[in-house]
Chain A
Amino acid sequence: MCNACGNPAVPGHWTEAGAATPGDRLRARFHRAGLLDKVLRPYGLTAHDGGVVPGIQLSTLSGNQSIVPDLSAVWAEAERLLGRPIDPLDPVFLNDD
């Protein structure tokens, strides 16, 4: 590892880098799955992370299931299922009501 820049870095997806200890990692996984599920439900998808097997389980309301490794893969899979990307700058997230 280079002393100047610390590369190569620890493996893992960048969205998981904020938790260093096993406990923090598990807490972060549950927390993330909860948040993700809330975002996906209006789109007819659900997310679940039991903390046992690696990956995030995505399901459609009709029961189709897939397991994806990380958040980047979640958004790509959601786009595939919905036919368009979930865009946080979509007016649905911006309107004041």
Chain B
Amino acid sequence: MTTDFVDGRMRLTVLGGYLGSGKTTWLRHQLHVGRFGPVHVIVNEAAETGVDDVLLASASGLTLLAGGCSCCTGRQDLIDALRTLCDQRSRVASDGQRLHRIVLETSGLADPAAIVAAIQGDPVLVNHIVIEQTLVVVDALHSLAQLQTEPLGRRQIGAADRLILSKCDAVDLAVLTQLRAILRTLNPDALQSAAELGAEQPLPDLPDNAQAPPLPPLSEDDTRGPIFPTRLKIDANIDWSAFALWLSALLHARGNDLVRVKGVLPTPAGRLLLQTVRKVVQSPEILPAQDNQSEDGTIVFIGRGFRPEDLQKSLRRFVG
């Protein structure tokens, strides 16, 4: 889309979903196939290390908001970033090449509804930006377990206009139908679709009589403590195989508490992008070299049930 919308305002798509559900994978594919046309992408990461910006390099513009989730602690940063975009756009003549679309990829810890409310409540942004839709990526493999225990997971589902189911190939049809019935109970209006590594996948009609097993009630204050991000700098004397050894043991023992691990490691094969969701490790990817590699060797752990300082100690003592 290269012409202005009739009302002259930009269209914003909010892309949400739980940690590791496949938001960046989906967006990366959509950028590759040009679904949004020229688009500015804003990526929010709860941790202070950005990884996703490397993967989304094919956007026309990219803003990385790292170090604070934009539905709570990083909200002002998001508002400021959006205002900057509005400002820049206002400086371009209306017949010039102006920005029309923005995609905001939220952090996996964000409640999209809170972000939508914050943008719509801002007196400047409301005149420049229309929130077109809220997409929420749902991990077919892990969602059933998440929705049993995580209030955030349920809030994210509730905030969606459209639910995109990812990793459907990893579960059998009965489980998928059960999950979809639960999603329909949580958010009856949301359209459901499926994507495999970002590419649209056909989804059979959900039978009207599909039964959703009831979800246990959840209280807001979780006894297991909050999920928090931790950054771990890998010592220069610990090589990638030692790190992989430690991480594989850690995932085996603590995978259910380690919701997400990601980062880039220097290896003989090149810059290795590592990403895990609970006990599942995505097949690693070798990234091209780039000018700024200062974040290489810093791995982000998002989870609960451990003390942040213990990770460094454990890594050193386990394989050091």
Contact = CB atoms under 8 A, between A and B. Distances in A.
Contacts, number: 131
A3 B31 CA distance: 12
Contact of A15 (B245, B253, B254, B318): B245
A81 interface: no
Nearest to B285: A6
Interface in B253-276: 253-254, 265, 267-270, 272, 274
Interface centre among A16, A17, A38 (most CB of B within 10 A): A17
A4 B75 CA distance: 31
A85 interface: yes
B254 A89 contact: yes
Interface residues of A, number: 39
Contacts of B197: 2, 5, 7
B241 interface: yes
A35 B240 CA distance: 12
A71 to B, nearest CB: 4
B252 to A, nearest CB: 4
Given A35-B242, A85-B253, A72 B248 contact: yes
Contact of B198 (A4, A39, A85): A4
B287 to A, nearest CB: 10
Interface string B206-245: 0000000000000000000000000000000001111011
Q: Give the top 6 A-B pairs by smallest Cβ distance, nearest first.
A: A18-B267, A4-B32, A20-B269, A75-B252, A15-B244, A87-B253
